């Protein structure tokens, strides 16, 4: 998970579509109203802005911000059809945040799967770390273990609270699940000069590699 600057919200979200209220508020209120129905209407849609789906406008902008990397696991997948927009605060629980720019992230499908048992710490969702916050850096909260490819909570110079948030973030995005540690280890081996743990082999652009936090 690499720090990046989110910047101001795209025009499609902040324009006042009906003359008085910004689109992101109007659309979130509509989604909220659908969920309040009995039974709730859970069919989600992104709306159309000037002939284009808001979803595709946002995905393009989010891709630029992360250089086509997943915002959470940093997998690199330019133009991947499987990547989509993750609502960090889930849209079913926080409907009024469903079109809020700071709540939207480019995410791979793996990071959108919820871990088994996630429900029991769902109430802590607001403590999951956000890569677009100024005070966030990978080094502050984590380190990469070259022996097994895992992401580990950094316990040096961090508060108990920071450590809990880092641990929660690893669990939430399942950063050490699936075959992710093995995949990181493989890339690490492939791209580091033999005998060096600080230099990437020449000819590789770091922004076209997955798991960029390993190379810093």
Identify which range of 10-18, 66-74, 76-84, 162-170 contacts Zn ion by CB under 5 A.
66-74
- In angstroms, the CA 106 to CA 72 distance is 8
Residues 69-88 within binding reach of Zn ion (CB under 5 A): 70, 72-73
Site string for Zn ion, 173-212 (x = CB under 5 A): ----------------------------------------
> Is beta strand 52-53 parallel, antiparallel or unpaired with respect to 48-49?
antiparallel
Rounded to a whole number of angstroms, the minimum distance from the CB of residue 173 to Zn ion is 6
Rounded to a whole number of angstroms, the minimum distance from the CB of residue 74 to Zn ion is 7
DSSP element (H, E) containing 153: strand 151-153
Q: Does 108 bind Zn ion (CB under 5 A)?
A: yes
Measured from the CB atom, the residue of 13 and 106 that comes closer to Zn ion is 106
Measured from the CB atom, the residue of 10 and 131 that comes closer to Zn ion is 131
- With 0-12 / 13-18 / 19 or more C-beta atoms within 10 angstroms meaning exposed / middle / buried, residue 47 is middle
Q: Does 28 bind Zn ion (CB under 5 A)?
A: no
Identify which range of 48-56, 62-70, 156-164, 183-191 contacts Zn ion by CB under 5 A.
62-70
Rounded to a whole number of angstroms, the minimum distance from the CB of residue 128 to Zn ion is 13
In this structure, the chain runs to a length of: 216
Structure token pair of residue 1? 């998970």
What is the CB neighbour count within 10 angstroms for residue 37? 9
Residue 176 CA to its chain's centroid (Å): 15
User: Euclidean distance between the first and final Cα of the chain, in Å?
Assistant: 12
Total number of residues that touch Zn ion (CB under 5 A): 5
Task: Name the site residues for Zn ion (rule: CB under 5 A).
Answer: 70, 72-73, 108, 111
């Amino acid at each position: 998970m690499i720090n990046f600057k989110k910047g101001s919200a795209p025009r499609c979200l902040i324009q006042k579509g009906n003359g008085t209220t910004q689109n992101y508020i109007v659309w979130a209120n509509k989604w909220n109203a659908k969920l309040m129905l009995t039974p709730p209407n859970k069919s989600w849609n992104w709306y159309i802005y000037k002939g284009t789906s808001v979803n595709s406008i946002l995905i393009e902008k989010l891709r630029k911000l992360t250089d086509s990397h997943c915002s959470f696991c940093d997998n690199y997948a330019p133009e991947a059809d499987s990547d989509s927009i993750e609502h960090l605060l889930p849209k079913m629980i926080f409907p009024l945040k469903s079109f809020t720019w700071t709540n939207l992230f480019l995410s791979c499908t793996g990071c959108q799967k919820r871990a088994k048992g996630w429900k029991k710490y769902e109430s802590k969702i607001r403590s999951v770390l956000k890569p677009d916050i100024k005070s966030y850096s990978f080094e502050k909260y984590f380190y990469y273990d070259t022996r097994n490819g895992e992401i580990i909570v950094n316990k040096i110079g961090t508060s108990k609270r920071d450590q809990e948030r880092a641990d929660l973030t690893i669990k939430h995005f399942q950063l050490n699940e699936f075959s992710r540690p093995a995949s990181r280890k493989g890339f690490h081996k492939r791209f580091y000069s033999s005998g060096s743990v600080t230099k990437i082999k020449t000819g590789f652009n770091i922004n076209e590699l997955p798991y960029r936090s390993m190379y810093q």
